[in-house]
Chains A and B, each alone.
Chain A
Amino acid sequence: MKKLKGIKLKHRKNTENCATVDFPIPQKVRIPMSMNMGAACQPLVKVGDQVKVGQKIGDTDVPFSVPVHSGVSGKVTAVSDYRTAMGAVCKIVEIETDGQQTVSEEVRPPEVNDKESFLKAVRESGACGLGGAGFPTHIKLNPKTPIDTLIINGAECEPYITADYREMIECPDDVIGGVKMIKDMLGIKNAKLAIEANKPEAIKNFEEMAKNDDTIDIITLPSVYPQGAEKIIIYNSTGVVVKEGELPADGGVIVINISTVAFLYRYMQDGMPLVKRRITVDGNAVGEPKNVSAVIGTPFREILEFCKTDMDAMIKLIGGGPMMGMSIPDVEMPVVKTSNALLAIKSYDVSKTTSCIRCGRCVRVCPMELVPADIDRAYRIRNIDELKKLNVLLCMNCGSCTYVCPANRKLAETNQLAKALIPRK
């Protein structure tokens, strides 16, 4: 098997030993109707309504979507327009909490007896990929082609983030339970739990737990970024190459995030939908890096203050990891389902982009074996044929090329712009 390229990053897993702390219920939450890939929901509540914990407050008829639930009890005080960090426009529901945390009657373990009811329950749980991408889980678990391997993504390859790691350490039974459940419900023969080598404790633990189950393999991934990228993790744990334009399912595999698996397992037991999540709070402006479990809709500002962030020194806020996360323009934005990390940064290099010196570093690191320097050149003259020939569509925006470029060229960003030039079939 060929070794894929990548880069060695400083892991900066400062919070790996920080047990998750519950963030107190805020006075007010704002829950966007679009938090994941797929269609935005329509609010099911209006101003003045009382809502309870676990109550569904947003849904839509579009199948490629996930419903939204409230994580607090209280009164709806506003339903307004909102623009997410990804740039999507949707409604946002503002709820003033009453501190009672009264649980809704809707919350009860779902009745699941076959694949169909299982997938329905998965959708109702509000689950989407918790690793950051936010792909609707019920769609992912319902591919058109037969699947023989389920890959559980425990790579968590981005620096800083330890949210998935804490899941592995704190709730290992939910992980293994979830793996078995999904395997059984979907009739998948094998599962591979793929974890990056920088988490030896989790690997050891799971190896012990799965000792007597030969359908669950524990895979140790090399500590080279980006192991968590779908195509990379598939190749490194099964050897399957996902071809351009194909889905992992076409190769008989699906990849699902490890925290999502554990969440689904818990949901099937207690029926509490996805209303809370674990977030790693770190970055050099944060005084006390932590893993917090916060209700979805909690303003980032409150969490940052909770972690003693130097708000005056902070010049950049990132939702997710430093390589693929998103800039957050406003501290008042709320925690969403895909918020796995919140990084407050007080130093950011804004040095100018200079000419490409053709040093080849971008080529050396690209896991997809692309030539970012040439894509950059072709993009500048809008040479669409050349861009196609350079396979720019394969770029997964992992950011490695931009990271290493000595001339500060924004290669990954250019690639995304270049992709947009290529007409889709």
Chain B
Amino acid sequence: MNKLIVSPSPHDENFVKTHSIMLQVIMALMPALGVSIYIFGPRVVPLTAVCVGSCILFEYVCRRLMKRDNTIGDMSAAVTGLLLAMNLPVTAPYWMAVVGSFVAIVIVKQLFGGIGQNFANPAITARIVLMVGFPTINHWIKPLEYDYDAVSSATPLVLAKKGEELPSYLDMFLGKTGGSLGETCALALLLGGLYLAARKIISLAAPLSFIGSLFIFSWIAGDDPLYQILAGGVFLGAFFMATDYATTPITQKGKVVFGLGCGIITFVIRHFGSYPEGVSFSILLMNVLTPYIEELTRNKPFGAKEVQKNEG
């Protein structure tokens, strides 16, 4: 007879594990990746591969150097790599993809203790670092032409800032506009997001309050609200970044506040700022505020004595 295993309760568990969650996120990004290949051409594939590969490599090396367990099996590095790729223009040089991966994995994630410990979204931070540090990266090509050397075209948001003619709503919804790899096709992102929500991997609280508040504020301010939510990285940010586990609040209430903050900041940057895109900054800013949001939106435990001040 075996020696019986003695352990505290519970003795049963469900089979959703970290790596299976990450795998689902990768699955959910597949439609957007597919559309991206269609819109921006074959270069999408190697660029994505470089991002994913270098993220996994950096994760592995980092953990080795820090003498910690190897964590590439949890697939989170692959997700980060994929998200980073989604945030790059198709013309981004490969070395820049590697730099982005370095920033995302080494600086943002592992230096803060690895999965779950980082306060800022790795892919978003890497995107911002690249956009600010290497402005030449902002080189957008026309959709469906696959001409990587063409003179820089512009994203709808840039066109709008300049007051030029805009693509149709339908083209924007389907992704036939300039932009980074994964952000243009709202439909594909919506599909992925709804899939994750249906599998209970993400909650729709943050995406809805993000997109909803951006819509309402733009409308009040007299911008074209539909256009505002379809343009730029709103859907990518709302469904895949504002739902990141580590860098957004853990409670439902907190998630709503987070999304609201993102929507408002995006609106403010776009409406009042000189910068055409605000999604990345808004998410990063809200990442920083997340601990405070969590503090303020803590659930009131069932039957707790009412001693805390943040009642309600």
Contacts and interface: CB of A to CB of B under 8 A. Distances in A.
Contact of A243 (B5, B117, B305): B305
B67 interface: no
Contact of A324 (B4, B10, B21): B10
Given A244-B304, A371-B250, A397 B9 contact: yes
B133 interface: no
12 contacts: A231-B302, A324-B9, A327-B8, A351-B17, A354-B69, A357-B18, A360-B245, A368-B303, A389-B308, A406-B17, A406-B18, A416-B8
Contact of A406 (B1, B4, B21): B21
A345 B9 contact: no
A9 to B, nearest CB: 8
A58 interface: no
B299 interface: yes
B16 A4 contact: no
A355 B114 contact: yes
A369 B21 contact: no
Nearest to A368: B302
Contacts of B11: 316, 318, 322-323, 325, 327, 343, 345, 348
Interface of B: 1-2, 4-14, 16-18, 20-21, 69, 71, 74, 76, 113-117, 203, 245-246, 250-251, 298-305, 308
Contacts of A373: 250
Top 4 A-B pairs, shortest CB-CB distance:
A399-B10, A322-B12, A327-B6, A369-B299
Interface string A203-231: 00000000000000000000000000001
For chain A, give the interface size range.
35 or more
B279 to A, nearest CB: 22
B251 A363 contact: yes
A356 B114 CA distance: 10
Contacts of A399: 9-10
A403 interface: yes
A366 to B, nearest CB: 8
B246 A406 contact: no
Contacts of B305: 243-245
A371 B299 contact: yes
Interface string A68-97: 000000000000000000000000000000
B5 A316 contact: yes
Interface string A385-418: 0000101001001011011111110101100100
Contact of A355 (B116, B251, B300): B116
A404 B12 contact: no
B71 A354 contact: yes
Contacts of B18: 354, 357, 406-407
A212 to B, nearest CB: 36
B298 to A, nearest CB: 7
Given A242-B303, A243-B305, A360 B14 contact: no
A315 B71 contact: no
Contacts of A326: 9
Name the residue among B10, B113, B246 with the largest chain A CB count within 10 angstroms: B10
B220 to A, nearest CB: 32
A243 B302 CA distance: 8
B17 A327 contact: no
A316 B2 CA distance: 9
Given A312-B1, A368-B303, A403 B251 contact: no
A317 B4 contact: yes
Contacts of B7: 316, 327
Given A358-B246, A402-B10, A407-B18, A369 B302 contact: yes
A315 B5 contact: yes
B240 to A, nearest CB: 15
Contacts of A231: 302-303
Interface of A: 4, 9, 159, 231, 235, 241-245, 311-318, 322-331, 343, 345, 348-351, 354-361, 363, 367-371, 373-374, 389, 391, 394, 397, 399-400, 402-408, 410, 412-413, 416
Contacts of B69: 354
Given A243-B304, A348-B11, A416-B8, 16 more contacts: A311-B1, A315-B4, A316-B4, A322-B12, A324-B10, A325-B9, A325-B11, A330-B4, A355-B115, A368-B301, A369-B300, A373-B250, A389-B308, A394-B303, A399-B10, A413-B9
Nearest to B17: A406
Contact of A371 (B17, B71, B113, B298): B298
Contacts of A316: 4-5, 7, 11
A316 B4 CA distance: 5
Given A363-B299, A389-B308, A328 B114 contact: no
A369 B250 CA distance: 12
A327 B303 contact: no
A301 B21 CA distance: 40
Given A244-B305, A357-B246, A412 B10 contact: yes
A412 B9 contact: yes
Contacts of B10: 322-324, 399-400, 402-403, 412
Name the residue among B9, B16, B303 with the largest chain A CB count within 10 angstroms: B9
Contacts of B76: 357
Nearest to B249: A360
Given A322-B10, A323-B9, A324-B9, A314 B2 contact: yes
Contacts of A371: 250-251, 298-299
Contact of B301 (A315, A369, A403, A410): A369
Contacts of A4: 302
Nearest to B304: A391
Contacts of B300: 369
Nearest to A399: B10
Contacts of A359: 21, 245
Contacts of A370: 299, 301
B208 to A, nearest CB: 16
Given A327-B4, A404-B16, A357 B301 contact: no
B80 to A, nearest CB: 13
A315 B6 CA distance: 9
Contacts of A327: 4-9, 11
Name the residue among A159, A358, A374 with the largest chain B CB count within 10 angstroms: A358
A406 B20 contact: yes
A397 B203 CA distance: 26
